[in-house]
Structures are given as C-alpha cells and as structure tokens.
Amino acid sequence: MEYPVARRDESVVDDYHGVCVSDPYRWLEDPDSEETQEFVGKQVNLTQSLLQTCETREKLKEQITKSFDHPRYNTPFKKGDKYFYFHNTGLQPQNVFYVQDSLDAEAEVLIDPNGLSEDGTVALKFAGVSEDAKYVAYGLSSNGSDWVSIKVMRIEDKFHEPHTLSWVKFGCITWTHDNKGFFYSRYPAPKQGDQLDAGTKTNLNLNQGLYYHFLGTEQSEDVLCWKDPENPMYRFEAQVMDDGKHVLLYIEESCDPVNKLYYCDLSTLNGLEGFKNSTDMLPFVKLVDNFDASYKAVANDATQFTFLTNKDAPMYKLIRVDLKEPSVWTNVIEESEKDVLEDAYVVNGNQILVSYLSDAKNVLQIRELKTGGLLHQLPIEIGTVWGVSGRRRDSEVFIKFTSFLTPGIIYRCNLAVEAPEMKIFRKTVVSGFDHTEFQVNQAFVPSKDGTSKIPLFIVSKKNIILDGSHPCLLYGYGGFNSSLTPTFNVSRAILTRHLGAVFCVANIRGGGEYGKEWHKAGSLAKKQNCFDDFISAAEYLVSAGYTQSKKLCIEGASNGGLLVAACVNQRPDLFGCALARVGVMDMLRFHKFTIGHAWISDFGCSDKEEEFQWLIKYSPLHNVRRPWEQHQDAKHQYPPTMLLTADHDDRVVPLHSLKLLATMQYILCTSLENSPQTNPIIVRIESKAGHGCGRPIQKTIDEAADQYSFMAKMLGASWIN
C-alpha cells in the first residue's frame, strides 16, 4: 500500500524526569488545523480504497441490516401511576421514549429524537420523570458527544418549558418530591459559548458543580448546591431518597470505585427557594469524607440508611448506618468469598433484589431488607441482568436478561406471592437467528504469572471440529472495574453463522469480574497483567485447536483499544488481524485532554517519575517496533491493523489513534525503501459520531460491516450461506 507521508516534527521533545521522549506528531493534537484535516482526508481515502476490495462487505452490511430490523425494548419503569420505556422499532436511528397509563393501555410517543436531525445524530441520552409523572427532564446530545443539553416537557400536553440547560456532562437528573425541580451537574460555560462545537474540543473538563433547577426559570437562576474550587477534578451527583427528605451527594475524583458521601435533610430547610439569591451552598453533612471505598445508597428508613459498599470487602457487601450514630456501621449482607455483590434494589416493601456476579455470570436473589436473610433464588439462565426496574411501594419488578444466545427477555416478576414467578413480559426475536445452531463454553486459562485463572467464553457453531481451521475473534477490555458478561451482539452472531467464526470474550484482570482485588491486579504498576492475560487467552485458543495465529483477530474498544494496541506491539506474531477502537494510545499525555485526568486512578500519570516508568514500557504510541529486526526474519511483521475513532469523540479524543497511526505507518511502512511490512495499517474515522453512545443505527451497521469485512479479508474467511 502507498501511505500518505505525515510530517515529522523532530523538534518536539519532552523531558520526563531526565528521559527525553520525542513527540513528532504533536501537531495532530489540533483537530481544527488544516494539516490535521488534510492528513485525515488522505487516510479516509486510503481506507475506503481498501474496504472496496473486501468481498464480504456488502453481504455483511445486508445481513447485519436485516438482523437489526427487529423491535427492541428497554426495561419499563414506573413513576406516579404511569409506565415509561424506551423502544426502537428496528432501524430507527435512535430509541424513542414512550409513556402508557397502564401496561394494558395504548403506548404514546413522548419524545422522539429522530425528528431532531436529518441524519439521526441527535440522541436522547436520558429521561428523568418527576415523582408525580407530570414532567420529564431529558438530555439530548449531538454527533455522539458526551455534552448534553437538558430540556423539560410537561407530559400531559407535551408543552416544552422555554429554557435549555447547557454544558451538562457526566451526571443524572434527580427530582425533588415536591416536583418543583431537579438536581443536575454541569461545567462552567466556555468563553466561546454557543458557537463552539464542543464535541471536537480537547479542553480539560474541570470545576463541575451541582445545581438545582426550578421549573420555568432560566439556567442563570439555578441554585448552586455544591462546588469545590480547591479540587477542580471532583465530579458530583445527587440522589433524592425514597422518603423525599434526604438528598445524598456523591463526590468522585477519578474512575476508581470510591467516593465521598454527604447528606442533607431537605425537611429542615424552608424550601430551596431561599437559596436562589444566596451565596450559601446547601448544608450538606459529611458522612464519609475520604476516598477509601465506594458507597451507594440502596434504601433508608428515617435516619437508617443501607449502602452497597466495598469498604473492607473487595467482593462488596451491604451495610447499615444510623445518621444519628454515624460511627456505627453494621453488616446486613456479608461479603461472599467467591461472588461479587454487584447491585441491590429495595422492592416490595422490605425486600431487596440483589444481583451477584459469579464467574462473570449473574445470579439473582430476593433477601430481607432488615436482616439480609435469603428468601428466594430467582431462576435465570447463564447470562447477564441488563436492567432492573422496581419500586419499594410496588410488588412487581421488571428484569431484562440477555446472553450470547438470547437477544433479550424482559421478565415481569410478582413478589407478592409465596414463590415469585418470572413471567415473560417481552421477548426480542431476531429474524434468521436460531440459538440451537450454536454453543457456549467457558474455559479457565492459567495466567502467565501463575496466580490466576482467566475466564474465557467461547461461542461457536455446535459440534465444532478443533482442527485450528476456524477464524476467531477475541474481545477484551480489562480496566476500570468494568466486567464483560454474556450479551447478545447481532454482528458477532452473523460472523459465527456466515463466516464460521469462533467468538470469544476474555475476562482479564483489570475488570471487576472478581471484585476489587481483580481490578487492582490489572491497574497501575500491574497493568502488564492485562496484556499477559489477553495473550494467554489467545495462546489457549491456538493450542486448543479453535484457530491458528493467522486466523485470530483481536478486538477491543476504549481501554480495550489500548489493550489491543499494546498486545500487537508485544506479540505481533500471535495475531492475524487487530481492531483497536477508540483506544487510549498516548499513555504519557492522556491526562491532558477532556476527562482523561479521571483515568489516572487506573493508569498512573507521567508527571510522577515512578508512574512514568510503568507507562513508557507499554504505551502503544511509544513501543512500535520493527519485529523483523528483533527476529532477523522478514516474515515477522505487524498483523493487519485497523484503528477506529470518531471526530466527535470527546472522551478518548481522536488524537490518540491519529498519532499512533502516523507512528506505525512511519516506522513500519514508509521509513524503509523496501519494508517487509506488507500487512495494511489503516484507520477508520467516523464523522458526526463520538465514543460510541448515541450513534445512529446506520452508523453502527456501517462500522460493523467495515471492520468485520476487513477482518474477513485479512483472515481469509469466506462467506457461508
């Protein structure tokens, strides 16, 4: 391939604690410069020219489109005496928000974002309904950006309040029970104001504040409830409890599962109106004022509060405290030795629905709120609880379930009977998909350091012959305490059916599959464990006969994009293809852009000498090598690699992928007259899209068809009817 030659500015050199590190593509950090846009344009043309040669591209696009064309529902929830839910008829660009007076009543469209843009790039990010179900405050984002604008609508006649709340990012809406308004979090407005296309900017996100908005008022009149200018990286979120009296303030500094916890008794105030023109913030009382653990409120009875926490409990537990005696905390549900207590919901008066994670699969139980005693084990299959909806005052609860072979089932569970029944309320059916054609196995792969067994889900056609002949897609993440659990994916089901591919998910360290210790074993100084675990999973798939190196593709997104790029640098011989989506690739400068500073808790920071030494060893941008020089063998080269990013990704900004692309193309492809690197190194750049959320269905389909047809071509996989 003939690659565009990107200018190298050898004068850009940074001194990290006495170590000089060049950054010749620093100019790519400016997304608005003509030079960057010219570079992007040439790379887009190069990628399109290659994709046009991928034989399966149109077949994949056609089949994925057909399979996406089915009704999808989210878990319904109740406010006042009405039910609300999100729904997509199939190929609508964005999900639509519905309301109905009862489960048997005709549903009515409440908010349809599909009419707000011609190309479907305006997304409805969230909807917060007031307690009396008379108003809904909802957030819209454009072009996939994390930035949200909040609007308020009266439900009865769909009248919109004239005011819009801007510069909202990372947070949610929580209404007070007097239905006068709601709490939300936002950042200061930038100087550029409304003329700014915020989704393309890389400025740090600092000085968030918690505000209260009164219905019918301008944003400038909102009450500032809490801020902390001495700690500009703090983020705030409020939660109004079921009693309507107490509002909790969660304070986070990073992506680590830890938070401070304050509370305010609203009943002691003479309404929030008194704070409208005041310089005083709400009188929050500090219950937990350090970042030593995570605390999430489940329920309260007067001043007695029940929390889900990892305080002295890496696998999490349920604890209780009386605000009148804040130094006395008692255990309600003890920590499990093996399973992670993922979530808890108070339902049916004094019961708790708890969700455990057992070897990366969910288990559901009903327990007593007061004692934590087990009442019922709910019968769900091996898979993932994707959503739970229920109220303490109601005996019904809705549970959404999915798995690798189950597109989606919403159960309606009646807890008022002696033996709770899980009745199917809605079931997703994907045209042409027959789960009986496939099988799911789970292997446990020894880690390189011998300390752990890495769970590995393997999805394949039934009666597969383990002769190493199958194309294989291995997916991983391994970071930020996030767990990968069995979920249905239309595109990957098609790969298994029509390309004969084996699809695998590796639950490597750094995730939350086995609690806090599993997370910490793959972060900071131990980040290399993530890459070692992923490589071990890949080696197992080859040794067990599922595939061979030249037929093995690895994929990951965000932190998983970092995973893929680092593994390609470290073991280019092990993979036949690599798909690295929206990855964090410059580990020395990630903290300088948008919300990157929050990731220091997982990665460390190059500003500190010890942490710089961790990062420089695996940073994808700084570890691109010529494998043929190390092995003295021209056969050794990097696998075909596609980096994927989007022009409005304001979480992991595009500069990460662009700088890595320029570096790989230079070192591997263009700096030598007769480079042994014949495998392509390309980038796919989506326009008017962000990190992933809010992407229209058509863009999702197009991206899947592009990346998987590239994979198919590189692995030599042919279409099976």
Q: Can you give the three-state secondary structure of 119-148, one letter per residue?
A: CCCEEEEEEEECCCCCEEEEEEEECCCCCE
- The predicted pLDDT at position 62 comes to 97
- The predicted pLDDT at position 190 comes to 84
Say if CB 147 and CB 650 are below 8 A apart.
yes
Using alpha carbons, select from 610, 619, 629 the residue that is nearest to residue 675.
Answer: 629
The structure tokens listed for 97 are 């928000």
Dihedral, 706, 707, 712, 718 alpha carbons, nearest 10: -40
- The predicted pLDDT at position 418 comes to 87
The structure tokens listed for 89 are 């008829």
d(CA 232, CA 187) in angstroms, rounded, equals 10
The structure tokens listed for 614 are 């961790």
Q: Is 694 left (phi over 0), alpha (psi -120 to 50) or beta?
A: left
DSSP element (H, E) containing 497: helix 490-498
Say if CB 644 and CB 684 are below 8 A apart.
yes
d(CA 647, CA 28) in angstroms, rounded, equals 13
Say if CB 25 and CB 18 are below 8 A apart.
no
d(CA 186, CA 168) in angstroms, rounded, equals 4
Residue ranges in the chain modelled with pLDDT below 70 = 192-196, 632-634
| 324: exposed, middle or buried (Cβ count in 10 Å: 0-12, 13-18, 19+) | exposed
| pLDDT tens digits, one per residue of 222-280 | 999 999 999 999 999 999 999 999 999 999 999 999 999 999 999 999 889 889 888 89
d(CA 428, CA 72) in angstroms, rounded, equals 6
Dihedral, 575, 581, 585, 591 alpha carbons, nearest 10: -150
d(CA 165, CA 30) in angstroms, rounded, equals 28
SS (H, E, C) 530-571: HHHHHHHHHHHHHHCCCCCHHHEEEEEECHHHHHHHHHHHHC
The structure tokens listed for 243 are 């009693």
Say if CB 538 and CB 572 are below 8 A apart.
no
What 8-state DSSP symbol labels residue 511?
B
d(CA 83, CA 98) in angstroms, rounded, equals 8
Residue type (1 letter), 326: P
HSE (side-chain half, CA atoms, 13 Å) at 498? 23
Say if CB 300 and CB 246 are below 8 A apart.
yes
| pLDDT tens digits, one per residue of 265-318 | 999 998 898 898 888 999 999 999 999 999 999 999 999 999 999 999 999 999
Tokens 């950054």 correspond to 23
Say if CB 505 and CB 456 are below 8 A apart.
yes
β-strand partners of 159: 154
| 549: exposed, middle or buried (Cβ count in 10 Å: 0-12, 13-18, 19+) | middle
Cβ–Cβ contacts within 10 Å for residue 241, how many? 18
d(CA 322, CA 103) in angstroms, rounded, equals 38
Using alpha carbons, select from 143, 125, 126, 121 the residue that is nearest to residue 201.
Answer: 143
Cβ–Cβ contacts within 10 Å for residue 617, how many? 13
* Catalytic positions: 558, 649, 691
Say if CB 556 and CB 580 are below 8 A apart.
yes
d(CA 58, CA 44) in angstroms, rounded, equals 19
Tally the residues of the chain.
721
Residue type (1 letter), 480: F
β-strand partners of 111: 97
Is beta strand 406-414 parallel, antiparallel or unpaired with respect to 235-240?
unpaired
DSSP element (H, E) containing 261: strand 260-265
Which segments within 379-450 are labelled E, that is strand? 384-390, 396-403, 406-414, 421-427, 438-446
d(CA 554, CA 567) in angstroms, rounded, equals 9
What 8-state DSSP symbol labels residue 61?
H
d(CA 250, CA 259) in angstroms, rounded, equals 6
Q: Is 478 left (phi over 0), alpha (psi -120 to 50) or beta?
A: left
The structure tokens listed for 608 are 């500190």
Secondary structure class of 664 (helix, strand, coil):
helix
- The predicted pLDDT at position 526 comes to 98
d(CA 120, CA 105) in angstroms, rounded, equals 29
Angle between helices 490-498 and 57-68 (to 10 degrees): 130
